[in-house]
Structure 1
Amino acid sequence: MIKNINIKNVATYDNQGVQFDDLKKVNFIYGANGCGKTTISNFIYDNSNPKFNSSSLVWQNDFPLKVLVYNKEFREKNFGKGKLNGVFTLGEATAEQIKVIEQKTEELKAIKADEQQKRETLDKQKKTKDELENSFKETTWTKVFKKYETSFREAFQGSMHKETFKNRLLQEAESNYAQIETFENLKEKAETIFGEQPQRIDPISQISFDRILEIETNDIWKKIIVGKADVDIAKLIQKLNINDWVNQGRDYIQDDTCPFCQEKTITKDFKSQIEGFFDETYLNDIKQLKELKNEYHSLTQNDINQLNTIEANQKSLSNSKLDIDKFSAYLKTLISQNTANNEFLINKVKEPSRSIELISIKEQADLVVELINQANSEIKIHNDIVTNYTTERSNLIKAIWKFLVEEYKNEISQFNSKKNGLDKGITIIDTKYKAKIAEYKTLDAEIKHLNKNVTSIQPTIDEINRILKSYGFLNFEIVPAQEGGFYRIQREDGTVAETTLSEGETTFITFLYYLQLTKGGISEVEVNNERVLVIDDPISSLDSNVLFVVSTLIKDIIKQIKEDRGNIRQLILLTHNVYFHKEVSFIDGRTKTCSKTNFWILRKNDKVTTLQSFKMGNPIQSSYELLWQELKSEEVKSTLTVQNIMRRIIENYFKLLGKYGDDDLILKFATKEEQEICRSLISWINDGSHSINDDLYVELQDRTIETYKKVFKDIFVLTKHEEHYNMMMNLTKETV
């Protein structure tokens, strides 16, 4: 069955179009000529035509059936060529053969129903699965992607859409065995690896303070260095504590003149005692003292220069691993300590007899070395990353996805459990569904084979001729053509009748041919195919007697469809004839609605077709009632349309009364405008007044609808027929 038709951007249908929702087994569509009925039947017949690109048609369970369309094109196509294709139906078959075919056809229907039920169950399971996957997709996007997008965006490359992200997360849950790391650790790595591609950093030069510390702890700094004690002059020098003063003065003794008093007091013996006091031990100590002092100064100065260079270089690096603030503080203290120690050493050299204690730079040196070692460790890690960037980046991405999977593992587990259950169910149902399709095809082929043996075109000839004679068409009949498989229409004298038939006769015989086609097929294998019928205005040129015949034949089809007999599954009937619509849609005097039937009305206003649905309620009772319904409809907005409807109502109603002349009614209105409008509405009551009306019709077509409606009502009020007006407009005493 067809479930839905949406037609737009073709003929009188604009870009909004119309939509037939929830089509039933039997569907009645009423519409005046030119409102787009044939466009609908043509679309159903061939929706592949490019002009219908904007339109759509939906089949129940996506299972299309054969469509047989009766419309003007059908009549021209089948009657215009001078002969009709033969229609195969059950012919010279025994009762037993027919019974076998009927039994197998019923079996085929049961299989088809079971197949459709399984298809519906399968579609329902697939829909549930789609909803599950869509819900999971939305929640993972919100709770995972959006939450970590800022931190791990680089790891999400290639999965930046909802569907691909969901699929990647499920894939990682299956195959990712990376070690689980903390968010903080992953974020820190991501800042290094996912930023600009890291460049190698040169390690910081190592600084050694070992020799400096060794010099600092030498005993010589505390040793009191003095001359030899057993020399006569020693007692005086030591008593006066002038060792360093005398020692410095030795450098100034050039001859026998004393460098202190400038008298010739320097004797050989005095020189000998002085030299004896400052013996070799003293001189060696002084030598060592000077050497250590110079070495200490050189080493510390060299290290300090290196440290200053390190400080300057590291400050200039944006990616320095050195804690530069601490380093600068430690270096400043170290320099201060070194300055103090250099002062101590200078004084010691000047006065060797004094004992000094140097400030130990060990603590600051250790702190500086520790900072450098820490920085070099981080530099090594960084450089290892640089060396193995691709590998490290890949490992980090795996670690990030593992972290995400671990954090969302409960939701992933629940999703997989539900999805696996649905997949198993879908597989089972799909297997059964395909088995039913295969079973259907096998039985269908068997029925078609049986039909070939028992079908014939002769029963169609006999049935059409029977109906023609039953309804008074005695001067022609259907006969087999000389070419096998065709019919011809022949007069009693044997002449071909196609070219001499009236339009009504042609319409009637082609409709009878169409009805036989709905029961059989052009070939033997089509006889039992399920089908949908679309009938568009089958009585356009028929008299009232034939109209009754056609409606009776169609009502028989409707009855079979509702009772699910035969192979016709659905009927869509389009007509402009009120009487035919009323006759063919009549159920009985007691039953007003049927759940297997829907009604629609097509209207064309301002060259655009619109649709009104009435569901199971038949909107058409008679042409006169239809005019009132059109008048009440909010969809009728054209002044010309409303005026024409009112004129037809007045003509129909007041013709029955027959006692009102034009002037009698016109003069009851006070204003000239109302009199003119009244004249335009009642001018059809009496013959011969159309010329006046036509002028007014053109003159007054721009009047507002409200003005026409007021005058229209007043005609009934002034003629004392207000009750009839209220009844037809469904107005109660409370609403009047």
Structure 2
Amino acid sequence: MKGNNMIKSIRLNNFIPYEKQEIFTKNLNFFFGCNGSGKSRLTNYLSTESISQSTNLTWDSSPCPLLIFNKEFVAKNFRNDIKGIFTLGEDTNIKITNISNLENKIKDDNVALAKNIADTKELEDLIITNRTEIIEECWDIQISYGKKFSSALTPHRGKKNDFFSKMLEVYIRNKDDLKPYPMEELESYYNLAFNNKIDLINPIALIPIDKIKEYETCKLLELPFIGSSDSTIGRFIDHLNNSSWIKQGKQYENLADGRCPYCQQPLPNFIRQELEDYFGGYYKLSYNQLNSFYSDYSLNIGKAISDLDTLLDNEILNFDYNNLQILVSTIKNIFNENCYYIEKKISDPTISLSIKPLYSEFEYVNSEIKSLNMLISKNNSIVKNKVFEQSLFTDVIWKSFCHSLEFRLSKYYQNNSIYESKLEKLQDDKAIIEASIKDSSQNIVDIKQTLSSVHGTVIKIDRILKNFGFTNFTLRVNPADDSSYLIVRDNNMDAKETLSEGEYNFITFLYFYFMLFGVQGSAESSDNKVIVIDDPISSLDSKTIFIVTTLIRTLIEKCKSKEDGFLQIFILSHNIFFFKEITRCGNFDYSNKIASYFIIKKTRESSIITIHTYNPIKSTYELLWQELAEEKNTRPITIFNTLRRILEYYFNIVGGIDYKNGIDKFKDNDKYICKSLLESINDGSHYINDEFHVDTTESIDDYLRVFELIFINFGQHEHYKMMISHVSSNLEKVDS
């Protein structure tokens, strides 16, 4: 925004340490105050009020940002994190700080990555050790049973890792359903499933045992057979209880030729009839039933025993026949014994007897047959479904192996799950860290691409230094990064160890100076520049003070003429020499029409700013000359010291003239006076405010005359006349 955009007044409201007051400003504003008087506080106040567009600053038109050089500017804009490598500019330094933070983050990430890799390696070693141990234990099973069940294990027998992987897979899938399998059953099952020579087998018929139950409950064996007692002979037989003997003899009746088979007497027909009647009817029926029972019993039980003998003679499958053999032997013994008793009953129907039961034995037999039939059924199922059964057996054998190592597999699985979980976490963390490093690296590249080159600034600053004959150091663009630069001493050595506070203040001021002219395309190069400079010569030596003073005078002249957008300047200092130098326009101070002079004074409770129409600060050098113009101060006790201090300041500090070689230009007493003045210069301090007192008897006039001759003989008479004229003019102003 173009126009006369300046601060018209500054109101200090409730701003510690200042009293409440309002000061009015002009193009050029010079503030002088001792250290601790509040100059820096005033600078900060201007900055804060400008940014907030406070009503405490009154502008000619719209407010604009202040361009402020102070300690804060130096801190923000000068950076030396890497020895010998420097950067300038707040925006650049923010970016450099961001780069440094990113580099530190990359460093921290690399430390974390190294730890992650080490932890991962340690965990992987633990996983390998854990796995190696269980692999060997699983392989021992393969060594023991691999050959026996080779067809079922063939795909996994070749390598330890394959065998272990299969066992772990089966364990994980069935860990809640593992149970032991007898090795005999496994071998039998394997032989069935993988023996291609086995055929279908018919199931064994069970022994019919319902009939056996009937045999054992038959009443014929328990009841004695008795004939009819209706006849006389019948009663006689019953009385004698010899029906069995009569029955046996009766079978000889047809052979006795009509005679009694017992007494050989002729047998009457009625006796024969009565015998027939006695052994007829119920007796005959029972006897016939007994014969039928015996025939049926011996036939059926005999057949069952015969079938069992056949079964035992033709053992099939891998069945345990011991129980069956014992049962069959028991059955045979009981059967033979029962037949004996039944035959005895047939011989003597009058006896009462019972046979031993075979029902329970045959139940046991059928139970064994059922077990055998189950094996047969399994056999037949395997024969019919070999592929399926082989697969089923394979599953069973792996489960059996897993059961035998269940505890170790369980422990391995649990530990390995923990290890794998930790490993996965480490791998995830590694990916995050690597992504972070990649992002940070890319961000550094992106930020570096936005950094401005310091090439133009370095060239201009270096040119300024050469023009002023400054040889303490030179600036060079950093070949590794053109957003930074190197500071090199005159012996081509980096200033990385020797750069003083004053030197980096000086460099930063030079950056500020060129920033005002927009060397790096900064926003500060726009129109309407209102400049604030606070104590720019802190820690500087005389050479750099001269350079800074000259550059500031350039800025003052710009503001005076309002060139290139420079409208207004505020300069604050505690240095009298510097203050006097910047407030002079030629041989005189700047006019109060364009310049305001302020004194900042510190009281007990607060600070106060006083405004002066004319420059209230006189330099010590100027005051020394003023002493010569005031006759009342020309006392012998002080005049010698005043003259010595003027000569010291002008010839030694400012002029750089070899005054000692000029003594020979004087003769006699004048030479003595000259020699006493010039050779006394170094007897005191090099500071122009030191006091030096000497007793002398020479006349004041001789001293003053030789004093003027010294300037004449050294070709500096014009300076002498200028100073005498200037102090005389000031005295006239004061007197008026």
Please report the TM-score for the alignment, with normalisation by the length of structure 1.
0.40
Larger Rg over CA atoms: 2
